[in-house]
Amino acid sequence: MFINFKKIKRNTFRIFLFGFALVGIIFFVVFVAMQYGWLNVKGSISERNSYFNVENKNSIKNTSDNNLEIICQINVLSKYAPLTSVNIYKTLTSGASDELLSKMVETASRRFKNDYLYNLSINKCKTSGHIYQNLDIPISAYNWADTDQWSLMKEVFTRDQEVINKAAADANISPRLILSGIIGEQFRFFNNRRESFKSYFEPLKILASLSQVSFGIAGLKPKTVGIIESNLKDKNSHFYLGPDLENIVDYAENADIESERMTRITNAKDPYYSYLYTGLFMKEIIAQWQTQGYDISERPEILATLYNLGFYYSVPKENPETGGSVININNVDYTFGDIAYEFYYSGELSDIYPINVQ
C-alpha cells in the first residue's frame, strides 16, 4: 500500500490553516461584540455578585435559616435594584437583626409589588431559593433615589458628615433621623425650581437654602425654632429633654436673639444649627410621645410627618398616620413621611449614617 506523504502533509497544512483562520474569525467577532456591548449583561451582574462571593459569605456570622432566606431575597432584589441590594447586604454583614433586614427588603419590594416574576422569586426564597436570571434592572428600588436631586444630596451629606454627626450627637439622636426630615424639604424645593437646580445648585454642589416662610437647608421657621428653645428650658413641658440639653443653644449675653436665630438657621456655610434644631425638634417630639406611653424613636415616617406639620399637630396616639405635604418625584407622589420611611430603610448612605441596630 502506497502512502502519499506529500498529500497528508498538504492536507494537514490546510487543516491547520483553516483552523487558524477560524480562530482568528472567532476572536474578531468577540472583539467586535465587546466593543459594541453585545456581550454585556444588564445591571453589571459580575460586579454586583462580587458582594456575594465566598470571601464575603465568610463574613456573615452565625447564619440562621432566616439569614439564608434574606440572602436569597437580596439576590432576587439585585436583579432589579443592584445598588439597593448592596446596601442591604452591607447591613446584613454589620450584624443587624433579621427583623431590620426583613423590613429593608419589604420596603424595597414596594416598587415591584405588581411585578409577577419578582414576587414569585421572592416567595420561592422560602423554599428552594430559586432566582430568576436576566431581568431588566432599574438602578434603585426607590424612584427618588434615581434622581439628580438625590445624587446631589448624597454628595453634600457625605461631605458634611462631620457637622451632621456632631449635631446628631449634641441632640442625642440618630443622624439618619435628622436627614429623614431634611430630605423632604430639599426635594420639595428642587421640585418647584427645576431650572434653578440644574443651573445653580447642581453645578455648585450645594443644598437649597429656603428664604421665604421657612429658612435654611432644613426649612425651619423662626417661630418653630423659638418653641424648640423654649421647650429646652421648661421643666414642666412634655417636650422637655432634661438638664443636659437645657443650655445647648443658649445665646451670648445681650445678643439680639431674633437676629441671631435667623443667622443660625440661614448660615449656608455652616449648617450646624440647621441640623441641630432639626434633631432637637424630633427629640422633643419623641419625649412628648414617651410621656404618653408611645415610643416613636424609630418611626422616621411619623417624625418626618410632624417635622413638616409642626408641634401643633403632634398628638400622641396609638396608631399615628404618615402624611405631610405631597411632593411629586419622578412622576410618583410622596408625602414627607413616605420619603423619610423609604430613605431610612433604603440603606442609602448607611456606611456613614447607619440604621439603628438594636
Percent share of the chain, pLDDT over 90: 49
Please give the distance of CA 238 from its chain centroid, rounded to a whole number.
32
pTM score: 0.68
pLDDT band at 137 (very low <50, low <70, confident <90, very high): very low
Which residues on neighbouring strands pair with residue 211, listed in sequence order? 215
**Any idea which of 220-224, 227-231, 326-330 has the lowest mean pLDDT?**
326-330
Give the integer Cα–Cα distance in Å for 54 and 127: 22
| Cβ-contact 324, 304 below 8 angstroms | yes
| Cβ-contact 83, 139 below 8 angstroms | yes
pLDDT band at 41 (very low <50, low <70, confident <90, very high): very low
131 has pLDDT over 60:
no
pLDDT band at 10 (very low <50, low <70, confident <90, very high): low
Q: What 3-state class would DSSP assign to 27?
A: helix
Give the integer Cα–Cα distance in Å for 303 and 286: 8
128 has pLDDT over 70:
no
Read off the pLDDT of each residue in 286-302 and give the average, rounded to a whole number.
Answer: 96
283 has pLDDT over 50:
yes
Report residue 294 as a C-alpha cell: 408611645
Please give the distance of CA 201 from its chain centroid, rounded to a whole number.
21
Read off the pLDDT of each residue in 86-103 and give the average, rounded to a whole number.
Answer: 86
Read off the pLDDT of each residue in 9-31 and give the average, rounded to a whole number.
Answer: 55
Report residue 138 as a C-alpha cell: 432599574
Better pLDDT: 138 or 41: 138
Closest by CA to 339, choosing from 168, 212, 153, 162, is: 153
Q: What is the mean pLDDT of the chain?
A: 80
| Cβ-contact 122, 104 below 8 angstroms | no
